[in-house]
Amino acid sequence: MAETKKLMRALKGEIMDVPPVWLMRQAGRYLPEYRETRAKAGDFLSLCYNPELAAEVTLQPIRRYGFDGSILFADILLVPDALGADLWFVTGEGPRLSTITGADDFAKLKPADAIHETLSPIYETVKILARELPAETTLIGFAGAPWTVATYMIAGRGTPDQAPAHALMREDPATFDALMDRITEATILYLSAQIDAGAEVVKLFDSWAGSLRGEAFDKYATAPAKRIISALKARYPHVPVIAFPREAGDAYIGFHAATGADCVAIDNSVDSDWAAANVQKDGCVQGNLSPALMIEGGQRLIDETKRIKAAFAGGPHIFNLGHGITPEADPENVHVMLEALRG
């Protein structure tokens, strides 16, 4: 069945008149049914760790829109939680973590292979989804890339420029490299367990890759992605991997070959025609409609959807946003986008 699914076909290199489509953060706060389910769970982390409710919110956008892909509902910071960092979410502000500022903090973390006890509910969610998703829908697992996860673990929260992580990289490279290595090992184990539970594709989100430049990008974005993908391909050679080094700019070029990714997701800061010429020539691309258009709607949403579809029509393409759909998005605009894409 996997070979007939549209998203899987695109990941294998097939060019289609109408590309498969899913949206980053498609299960989320823009949907009233999500907000109702989260209220039942009590808080965000409780929702992530409740397999039945996490599966429910994963399925909600599939029922509503019929996307070709369904991404597991979880969070990239569950790996730090499983490694022993303190994690909590502040309403209206986002995640908070205990910080890694030196070797003593790092020494308190658990080994990579200790993550499964904490993350076992996530694997159960994947098993539920593998049973309950429509036969034509591809199940996508995911994890945060090591650099992005490290930035949160070092700063204790999201930051505008990831300055605390850059500072630790410069001032205590031994601790920084050890942290990156620990996260990389844990990510390989986490994604492997998701695949064992039924994920058909996995995606690596490097949301803050754009703050790395030159040799730092090669060492801390490209090399960890290559290590993770190589390990997964050795174990699961037929499971595709999507890599998303967000805001990589020119560093998107060659990222397929450098990492072994089957598909490179691109953000909406790069032009679609440029990406088709420079990135899609190496394989499947995913993207890259602006999430702002899911708020704005109207003719510009229709026109941009059609323009992006046309720009990538010459190669394998998965239609998606350039970043996650936001809580302010109008659910009806998703229908508008799908009609423009699918006709």
Q: Which residues share a beta bridge with 157?
A: none
Residue (of 8, 76, 91, 85) closest to 44 by Cα position:
91
Backbone angles phi, psi at 124, to 5 degrees: -65, -40
Does the annotation count 300 as an active-site position? no
Backbone angles phi, psi at 22, to 5 degrees: -150, 170
What's the pLDDT score for residue 92? Answer: 81
Helix (H) or strand (E) segment spanning residue 318? strand 317-321
Does the annotation count 29 as an active-site position? yes
What's the pLDDT score for residue 239? Answer: 98
What's the pLDDT score for residue 2? Answer: 55
Does the annotation count 38 as an active-site position? yes
CA angle (329 as vertex; 129, 51 as ends), nearest 5: 20
Residue (of 28, 27, 22, 24) closest to 58 by Cα position:
27
Residues 63 and 27: beta-carbon distance below 8 Å: no
Q: How far apart are CA 65 and CA 129, in angstroms?
A: 17
The two structure tokens encoding residue 305: 């959807």
What's the pLDDT score for residue 12? Answer: 97
What's the pLDDT score for residue 1? Answer: 56
The active-site residue, picked from 30, 68, 75, 182, is 75
CATH number of the structural domain 2-250: 3.20.20.210
What's the pLDDT score for residue 93? Answer: 87
Sign of CA dihedral 248, 250, 252, 255: negative
Give 32: exposed, middle or buried? Use CB within 10 Å, 0-12, 13-18, 19+.
Answer: exposed
Does the annotation count 235 as an active-site position? no
The active-site residue, picked from 49, 123, 152, 252, is 152
The active-site residue, picked from 29, 64, 157, 307, is 29
What's the pLDDT score for residue 120? Answer: 98
Residues 221 and 148: beta-carbon distance below 8 Å: no
What's the pLDDT score for residue 283? Answer: 98
DSSP 222: I
The active-site residue, picked from 9, 25, 182, 227, is 25
Please tell me the chain's helix, strand, coil percentages from 3-state DSSP, rounded to the nearest 5. 55, 15, 35
Q: For every one of its 343 residues, what pLDDT tens digit does the chain have, with 9 covering 90 and above?
A: 557 899 999 999 999 999 999 999 999 999 999 999 999 999 999 999 999 999 999 999 999 999 999 999 999 999 999 999 999 999 888 999 999 999 999 999 999 999 999 999 999 999 999 999 999 999 999 999 999 999 999 999 999 999 999 999 999 999 999 999 999 999 999 999 999 999 999 999 999 999 999 999 999 999 999 999 999 999 999 999 999 999 999 999 999 999 999 999 999 999 999 999 999 999 999 999 999 999 999 999 999 999 999 999 999 999 999 999 999 999 999 999 999 999 9
Does the annotation count 213 as an active-site position? no
Residues 53 and 41: beta-carbon distance below 8 Å: yes
What's the pLDDT score for residue 91? Answer: 82
